[in-house]
Amino acid sequence: MGILFPNSYDSLVPELVTERLMASIPFASRYRLVDFMLSSMVNCGIDNISLIVKRNYHSLMDHLGSGREWDLTRKKGGLNIIPPFAQKTVNIYNGRVEAIASIIDYLKRQKEKYVIMADTNIAVNFNFSKLLQRHIDSGADVTIAYTKEDIPKALRDIDVTKKDLYYTLDIDGDGRVQKIVVNNKENGVHNVSMNIYVIERQLLIDQIREAYVNGLTYFERDIISPQLDKLNVKAYQHDGYFARIMDINSYFAENMKMLKEENINALFSPNPVYTKIRDDNPTRYADGSHAKNVMAADGCVIEGEVENCILFRGVKVGKGAKVRNCVLMQDTVIETGATVEYAITDKNVKITSYKELKGTESFPVFVEKRKQV
């Protein structure tokens, strides 16, 4: 069974999560980040998936509905969105230990042997079957998926007081994790954890119970790291394409990478990525329009110039408008003659006629939902 944490790393992209959470951040013209993890899980036969949400989860619930588009409207299992655990008072969980502790009774009642847990800030076509098989074959207690990369600057810049942690792994020749470093600030290529874990359900229940009683908060830091000698923790490298969203700049950059055909092919294969359907009509490129290097979803009407942009569903670009290097979310309207460069516009934004809005590559301008410029 799968458990997703849709709020993880929320604090790193404050602009995008004022009314939503990391999981429902729009990406690549018609998806939301959660679609990737969810689709990867479903495509690998995982059809009992719980999402433990913390706050701002209305947009996620609206997006997922009954889970039908991901084939998750099942009689057994299917999609479960679990809001903050409410007993006498609504208790918003602090850290993964508490989050999982809040659904311990639910976990006990499930029948699946293994649990796969993941965050939703990485867009990836992940092979969970391979990960699970490796876990079973290796006899490990826990398997952590990681990528080999330079630690992204955005992560290294994280304030030490922020609650979001990231981990790098020291792995020995047998693929066993010898050490877990929290918030590693070193340069160079490291094994950066993807925060994707496979663990036996019963073991998870035992560990969480123990940890909760002892007031521990974080899964990797407080449960796994101190017990690396007692538990057999193995690592699994993901060497395919992935897009890690850690701040507004990486959000912009990863979207822009989707303008290259080889990246699109890499991210959307081998398995399809499902998402909510909006029944728009195909996009229209009218006379006088000029489009170059664009990824666009359905429902757009392009009458102006669009270059190097990601356009979500229903975006309208008026005559004479010039839009370059932008990410325009759903239903954004760029009116006649407006000029917009290096901007990210949230849903339903309107840039009125002849206005100029310019950011720079290192500092894209962000326009909030429904704002008019």
Pull the structure tokens for residue 128.
Answer: 């969970």
* Nearest one of 167, 175, 275 to 224, comparing CA atoms: 167
Stretch that binds other proteins, among 122-130, 131-139, 163-171, 285-293 (CB under 8 A): 285-293
Count of residues in contact with other proteins, rule CB under 8 A = 34
Site for other proteins contains 272 (CB under 8 A): yes
Sign of the dihedral through C-alpha 370, 355, 315, 359? negative
Site for other proteins contains 71 (CB under 8 A): no
Q: Where are the beta strands (DSSP E) in 172-276?
A: 177-182, 189-200, 233-237, 242-244
Site for other proteins contains 262 (CB under 8 A): no
Nearer to other proteins, 114 or 312 (CB): 312
Is-contact 25 32, C-beta < 8 A?
yes
Pull the structure tokens for residue 249.
Answer: 């700049």
In the complex, minimum distance from the CB of residue 1 to other proteins, in angstroms, rounded to a whole number: 25
Site for other proteins contains 180 (CB under 8 A): no
Site for other proteins contains 325 (CB under 8 A): no
Between CA 317 and CA 63 the distance in angstroms is: 25
Contacts of 286 (CB under 8 A, 6+ apart): 301, 302, 303
Between CA 139 and CA 233 the distance in angstroms is: 9
128-161: b (≥16 Cβ within 10 Å) or e? beebbebbeebebbbbbbbbeeebeebbeebeee
In the complex, minimum distance from the CB of residue 322 to other proteins, in angstroms, rounded to a whole number: 16
Nearer to other proteins, 58 or 290 (CB): 290
Site for other proteins contains 60 (CB under 8 A): no
Q: Which string of DSSP letters, residue by residue, matches 115-147?
A: EEEEESSEEE---HHHHHHHHHHHT-SEEEEEE
Site for other proteins contains 123 (CB under 8 A): no
Stretch that binds other proteins, among 15-23, 166-174, 309-317, 359-367 (CB under 8 A): 309-317
In the complex, minimum distance from the CB of residue 35 to other proteins, in angstroms, rounded to a whole number: 11
Q: What are φ and ψ of residue 166, in 5° steps?
A: -130, 160
Nearer to other proteins, 30 or 244 (CB): 30
In the complex, minimum distance from the CB of residue 323 to other proteins, in angstroms, rounded to a whole number: 13
Site for other proteins contains 292 (CB under 8 A): yes
Nearer to other proteins, 99 or 258 (CB): 258
Between CA 66 and CA 62 the distance in angstroms is: 9
Between CA 166 and CA 182 the distance in angstroms is: 6
Site for other proteins contains 66 (CB under 8 A): no
Stretch that binds other proteins, among 5-13, 24-32, 203-211, 359-367 (CB under 8 A): 24-32
Site for other proteins contains 264 (CB under 8 A): yes
Site for other proteins contains 255 (CB under 8 A): no
Site for other proteins contains 259 (CB under 8 A): yes
Residue found under tokens 């934004």? 349
Nearer to other proteins, 212 or 241 (CB): 241
Nearer to other proteins, 192 or 300 (CB): 300
Site for other proteins contains 212 (CB under 8 A): no
In the complex, minimum distance from the CB of residue 282 to other proteins, in angstroms, rounded to a whole number: 3
Cross-strand partners of 81: 51
* Nearest one of 167, 118, 127 to 40, comparing CA atoms: 127
Site for other proteins contains 285 (CB under 8 A): yes
Question: What residue ranges bind other proteins (CB under 8 A)?
Answer: 28-30, 68, 259, 261, 264, 268, 272-274, 277, 279, 281-287, 289-298, 301, 310-312
